[in-house]
Each structure stands twice: as C-alpha cells, then as structure tokens.
Homo-oligomer: A and B are copies of this chain.
C-alpha cells in the first residue's frame, strides 16, 4: 500500500504538503501542487481514509435508523437522504431495526463510538429521554417519526391536519357514518391521525361510536380484517379513512369480497400516496406525503447541525396534499 510519505519522498516535499494538496489545494503553490498531483497519479496513491477519520475524529458518515427498509415509505425517505448525503460527500450507514428497540440501542452505540458523525431516526421506539440525551450530545434529526414536546429537529408533515382534511373530504361528500382504521397506537403518528379524524368528526357533528375506530398495524391484512369488523356491524359505515394506503387497499378488498362496490357503496381514503395507490383499482384517494423530500430535508438539517449551525426552530413541517382519485367517489359526485 503506497502511503503519503512515499508520495512526499518522490515529490521531494513533506507529507504536510501532500496533505495540503489533498485537503486545501489553494494553499499550495501551483508548481508544487502539480508535481505532487503527478506523483499521486504515477504511484496510484489512495489516501488511507481510516487514518484520516481517526486523526480528524470524524467520518463523513451518517447513520440512518429505519424500522423496515422493505416498506416503500421508508425506502423513499432513505432515497432522499442518500441523495442529499452523497451530494455533500457524506456516506449513509443503514440500520434496519425491524422495530426491535434493542437494535436501536445498539445502533446508538455507533454514535457514541464516533463511527458516524450524526444520525437520522425514522423510528420512534426509543424512550423520549434517551433521544433527548443523545440529541444533546450528537447531531440527530428525526424524520417522519416525531415525538411530542421534544426539542429535537424533526422533519414531518402535519399528520393531524392532513387526517382532518382527508376525513372532511369524506364528510363533504355527504357521508354521515365514517370509520377509521388506525395504525398501531404505540406510534404517535397513528395517534395523531386518529386525532385529526376525530377533529373532523366532532367539528362537523357527525355521529360517532367508538366501534368505528379500529386499530390495525399498517399492513394490508390488518386493513382487510378491520374492514370485516365494520361490515359485521348492524349499521356499517359508508366511508372509511385508513391511516395508510396498504390498509386502505386491504379494506377495499374486504368490501369487494362482501359484494360492496367502491366507491359506490363504500368510499375509502388512504394515506401516504405510495406508488401503487394510483395503479390500484379503484385508484386510491390519499394524502400525499413528500417522502423523498422529507429525507432530503432531514439530511440537509443534519448537515447543518454537523457544521455547528444551531437551529432555533425544531419542527419542520412539509406540505402534504389530498390527492383525489377514484376510491372516494368524489369524481362521480361531481358528475351528479
């Protein structure tokens, strides 16, 4: 392995000069720089980055903790993170936790051991106090996930308002009996989406029964199963708002299998605007989250933090948008 001192020797300069050529070329006289560069070329020298990391005590690497990379919502966010990172010369260390909190604690050790310069957390299993502690010592950004009352930079959408908007859309279409399939209530995101749903219901004085809110777990199957429960009611709902697109699709499948037409007999709205929501039949009406941009923004905030910028603002709320397609029946309604 050819090293810096080899280059220095052959170029007749000191290692300091070689180092300067590499890290701040403008401080070296052009002649010297050219000479050094040509020797670097000639010897095919590659700097030992591990030595640099060690010496500088930084790695140009960020840790991204994801509950499940196979979920398209997360993989899009990660796509945005990676893009922003690589533009700035940063690398992404990916850790998939499978929602196991032990894996998250393990991952945090990477920060403590300085293997990474910062961290983006797409999950919220860790205790509030732990996250707070960590974020006071190291650059940390939360994306998509967020934690109530925590002054840690967070990039997300306004889950409450978007859910309210989705629900109000169903109300405007004339529905009087609207159900909600929420995600695991362990997660604040789910609780917020329930909150937005409830706000719309109460503000519009729509009838409500607790049986009209059922808890799923963001999977297709859970949407299917919770919908079956609604269909078994004496008076089933005429509209359902599901906390994500997969559950909305599951709910539609259950409805169809029970002879209901969507949207004619049952209106459905989802959440996330995953790629397949427009391919699905009927195409899903849903709340579009800017997943890629969320990742990008989170990485940009992290970069600033790592540069030492202190943010007074800690919540960055990106725009979400109701995408009206077929599953809610709005287009049919317009025709009337």
B-binding residues in A (CB < 8 A) = 46-51, 53-54, 57, 59, 61, 64, 68-70, 72, 75-76, 78-79, 82-83, 86, 91-96, 103, 109-110, 112-115, 220, 249, 253, 276, 279-281, 292
Partner of A94, one of B47, B70, B94, B115: B94
- Give the CA-CA distance A61 to B115 in the complex, in Å: 11
Q: Which residue of B lies closest to A116 (CB)?
A: B91
Partner of A95, one of B51, B75, B82: B82
- Give the CA-CA distance A95 to B96 in the complex, in Å: 15
Residues in B neighbouring A279, C-beta threshold 8 A: 220, 249, 253, 276, 280
- Give the CA-CA distance A275 to B253 in the complex, in Å: 15
Contact A79 B69 (CB under 8 A): yes
- Extra contacts, 9 of them, besides A51-B54, A82-B96 (Cβ < 8 A), are A48-B54, A50-B57, A50-B114, A50-B115, A53-B53, A69-B69, A69-B82, A220-B279, A276-B280
Query: Shortest distance in angstroms between A163's beta carbon and chain B's nearest beta carbon?
Result: 23
Contact A92 B93 (CB under 8 A): yes
Partner of A69, one of B46, B75, B253: B75
Contact A49 B114 (CB under 8 A): yes
Residues in B neighbouring A114, C-beta threshold 8 A: 48-50
- Give the CA-CA distance A75 to B82 in the complex, in Å: 14
- Give the CA-CA distance A260 to B95 in the complex, in Å: 46
Contact B79 A113 (CB under 8 A): no
List 18 contacting pairs A-B, 8 Å CB cutoff, sorted by A.
A46-B113, A49-B113, A49-B114, A49-B115, A50-B53, A50-B114, A53-B53, A64-B94, A69-B78, A69-B79, A69-B82, A70-B79, A72-B72, A72-B75, A75-B75, A91-B115, A94-B94, A220-B279
Contact B78 A94 (CB under 8 A): yes
Q: Which residue of B lies closest to A92 (CB)?
A: B94
Q: Which A-B residue pairs are the 7 nearest by beta carbons?
A: A54-B54, A49-B113, A75-B75, A94-B94, A82-B96, A50-B54, A70-B79
Residues in B neighbouring A253, C-beta threshold 8 A: 279
- Give the CA-CA distance A146 to B253 in the complex, in Å: 38
- Give the CA-CA distance A93 to B94 in the complex, in Å: 6
Residues in B neighbouring A47, C-beta threshold 8 A: 113
Q: Which residue of B lies closest to A79 (CB)?
A: B70
Given A50-B115, A53-B53, A113-B48, do A79 and B91 touch, yes or no (CB 8 Å)? no
